A and B are shown apart, each in its own frame.
Chain A
Amino acid sequence: MREKLLIGRLIDTGSPVHRLDPRAKMTAMLLYAVMVMAARSWPALLCLTAFSVLIMILTRIPLRMYLKATRPLRVLMLFILIVQCLAVKGGSVLVAAGSWHLDSAGLAAGVYAVMRMGLLVSFTAMLTFTTSPGQLNQALEGMLRPFERAGIPAERLSLMTGIALRFIPAILDEAQTIMKAQASRGADLKELPWKGKARMLTALLVPVTVGAFRRAEDLTASMESRGYRIGAPRTRYRPLVWGQGETWFVGAFVLMCLVVIWIGFN
């Protein structure tokens, strides 16, 4: 199960992108996400794709890993493509069968939507492929810190996110162990009919949820027993450092935004 879930896992290749301050990567990702949503033309999307590939190459992680990251969403992407093809009408008729016809506008809208989703998922996977959950957490806290005056609890939020990120693989492992225990006693999900599969998956919910609560309780007790307290002054083992590389990295994304906006106006 974990083997299939690539997003959220660090792949350390020691590239320059890995070494960047996570705040820079997070800012860049936000800019990228906004641009992907705002891009309304083929040239803009192609420009974004080219930029994505360039940054992905810089991470030294094989491109197929980014493609793999989109795999869990392939059914949703196909669904969106079909819905757009069926719902959007206009332009020239590409295929006709009786009263139904596929229009060029529908196909274009479908491909747009799928491309956007693919770009967004594969490229944002770059953030988790190149940054450890601890660093991500630290970056989130750093970025939220200025909003503390407005009543946003930065430390609390980053702690919650950090724990949630750490819990995803742990809970998946727990579910997998229970599935193994069920399989070893004659209820292998792969060999069961669909009805049996559904029943076994439902049976997983209770022990996995109970297990997650137990883990959470153990974790809080362990943190409290070692003196953790929200709001207590605390130094960082590895303080975040914003250097010239980070400025260039974010600068490149700002430039990309300007190019995409310029394409949009022309």
Chain B
Amino acid sequence: MAIQLEHVSYTYDARSLLRQTALQDVNLELAEGLLTGIAGASGSGKSTLLQLLNGILLPTEGTVRVLDVTLIAGRKPPKLASLRRRVGLVFQFPEQQLFAATLEEDLIFGPLNFGASPEDAARRARKAVGQMGLDEALLSRHPLQLSGGQRRKAAIASVLAMDPDILVLDEPGATLDQVSRMELTQLLHRLCREEGKTVIIVTHRLDELLPYADLWMIMHEGRAVFQGTTRGLVDEARQLPGYGLSVPQPIQYWLELEEAYGLQTEEPCLSPSGLAERLTQLAFTEAKKARAYA
């Protein structure tokens, strides 16, 4: 098991009057090599959950197990460097994540801290820049000279350069255009399928991740109110408005198809091309039936 959370709660300012509970009694089990989507309304605890996976936050109750590292509430944590080398975390606001004088320095920061040689770190930086579709000429620029979208890509590249086993991304597509978002999702999907990386993505655009995600987790007011496969999410989709989320359009269309053609046992087609293809097949079958009757 790559990640296991047992009765985990997290409270900010736990020992003061200003305490604020962000997570309550969350249980989670994620196997290695899966792509998981996490969704929920703003303030539902998604970002807090992600920071627990990298040891940036420590649970105030319960136990977090990530790979071979165990973090138990109230106990002194072990050295976290090995955990952070293997769990790459992309924060919600990339402009606050870049702090070095040049983009290249920022990209090699992680690999150097985790023991890579300067040459290897520079090679990884260039590879990550290429993976994110950024021009190598940007490497000598100050991160604040980049556009919003470039900064977002640079922040993701800074984590890819560390080559972690688990990639945790907090709304990675928030400031990217549609094409870049699609390319990023496909890259993460490829890393998951071809290199066996575990990928966890927080997103508000469920429709874009639906065709790729193996598992889903829905958060509401600090609790994990749904955990399961994409099929399970489709079955529970009508509950989503109650959690402050709208039913994604692909699921809406699929539910209509399911009802019209009795497809409840089928694996849902949730990409536009998949839906179009299934619709064509159904129309063809209907037409064949109509001809047979005639």
* A187-B109, A187-B113 given; A181·B99 CB < 8 A: yes
- CB-CB < 8 A to B287: which residues of A? none
User: Does B46 have its Cβ within 8 Å of any Cβ on chain A?
Assistant: no
- Find out whether the CB atom of A178 lies under 8 angstroms from the CB atom of B85: no
Bound Cα distance A186, B79 (Å): 11
**Residue of A with least CB distance to B87:** A184
User: Does A191 have its Cβ within 8 Å of any Cβ on chain B?
Assistant: yes
**Residue of B with least CB distance to A210:** B144
B59 to chain A, nearest CB (A): 16
The interface size of chain B toward A, counting residues with CB under 8 Å, comes to: 32
A177 to chain B, nearest CB (A): 4
A180 to chain B, nearest CB (A): 5
- Find out whether the CB atom of A65 lies under 8 angstroms from the CB atom of B114: no
B269-283 at interface with A (beta carbon < 8 Å): none
- Find out whether the CB atom of A177 lies under 8 angstroms from the CB atom of B114: no
**Residue of B with least CB distance to A181:** B97
* Residue-wise interface mask of A (33-68) relative to B, using a CB-CB cutoff of 8 A (1 in contact, 0 not): 000000000000000000000000000011001001
Bound Cα distance A180, B98 (Å): 11
Number of A-B contacts (CB under 8 A): 74
A7 to chain B, nearest CB (A): 13
A56 to chain B, nearest CB (A): 14
The contact of A191 among B51, B54, B81, by CB within 8 Å, is B81
User: Does A204 have its Cβ within 8 Å of any Cβ on chain B?
Assistant: yes
- CB-CB < 8 A to B113: which residues of A? 185-187
B102 to chain A, nearest CB (A): 12
The contact of B91 among A61, A180, A188, by CB within 8 Å, is A180
* A180-B91, A181-B91, A211-B96 given; A191·B79 CB < 8 A: yes
* A186-B110, A203-B99 given; A177·B93 CB < 8 A: yes
User: Does B179 have its Cβ within 8 Å of any Cβ on chain A?
Assistant: no
* A182-B99, A187-B113 given; A177·B144 CB < 8 A: no
B202-235 at interface with A (beta carbon < 8 Å): none
Bound Cα distance A162, B85 (Å): 42
- Find out whether the CB atom of A185 lies under 8 angstroms from the CB atom of B162: yes
Most buried by B among A178, A186, A207, A210: A186
**Residue of A with least CB distance to B82:** A186
**Residue of B with least CB distance to A62:** B17
**Residue of B with least CB distance to A184:** B89
**Residue of B with least CB distance to A12:** B17
User: Does B56 have its Cβ within 8 Å of any Cβ on chain A?
Assistant: yes
The interface size of chain A toward B, counting residues with CB under 8 Å, comes to: 28
The contact of B81 among A62, A181, A186, by CB within 8 Å, is A186
B86-117 at interface with A (beta carbon < 8 Å): 88-89, 91, 93, 95-101, 109-110, 113-114
* A185-B158, A186-B85, A210-B144 given; A177·B96 CB < 8 A: yes
- CB-CB < 8 A to B126: which residues of A? none
User: Does B18 have its Cβ within 8 Å of any Cβ on chain A?
Assistant: yes
* Residue-wise interface mask of A (1-33) relative to B, using a CB-CB cutoff of 8 A (1 in contact, 0 not): 001001001010000000000000000000000
Is the contact region of chain A dominated by helix, strand, or loop, or is it mixed? helix
- CB-CB < 8 A to A187: which residues of B? 109, 113
User: Does B147 have its Cβ within 8 Å of any Cβ on chain A?
Assistant: no
User: Does B195 have its Cβ within 8 Å of any Cβ on chain A?
Assistant: no
- Find out whether the CB atom of B51 lies under 8 angstroms from the CB atom of A180: yes
Bound Cα distance A206, B101 (Å): 9
- Find out whether the CB atom of A181 lies under 8 angstroms from the CB atom of B96: yes
The contact of A185 among B12, B51, B95, B110, by CB within 8 Å, is B110
User: Does B84 have its Cβ within 8 Å of any Cβ on chain A?
Assistant: yes
Bound Cα distance A180, B56 (Å): 7
Bound Cα distance A144, B293 (Å): 91
User: Does B265 have its Cβ within 8 Å of any Cβ on chain A?
Assistant: no
- CB-CB < 8 A to A214: which residues of B? 144
B113-149 at interface with A (beta carbon < 8 Å): 113-114, 144
**Residue of B with least CB distance to A204:** B99
- Find out whether the CB atom of B96 lies under 8 angstroms from the CB atom of A186: no
User: Does A174 have its Cβ within 8 Å of any Cβ on chain B?
Assistant: yes
- CB-CB < 8 A to A188: which residues of B? 80-81, 84
User: Does A258 have its Cβ within 8 Å of any Cβ on chain B?
Assistant: no
B120 to chain A, nearest CB (A): 15
* A186-B84, A188-B81 given; A177·B13 CB < 8 A: no
Bound Cα distance A183, B77 (Å): 14
Bound Cα distance A177, B51 (Å): 11
B203 to chain A, nearest CB (A): 20
**Residue of A with least CB distance to B80:** A188
- CB-CB < 8 A to A207: which residues of B? 96, 98-99
3 tightest A-B CB contacts, nearest first: A186-B113, A185-B110, A181-B97
A-B contact pairs, 5 of them (CB 8 A): A9-B18, A11-B18, A185-B110, A206-B101, A214-B144
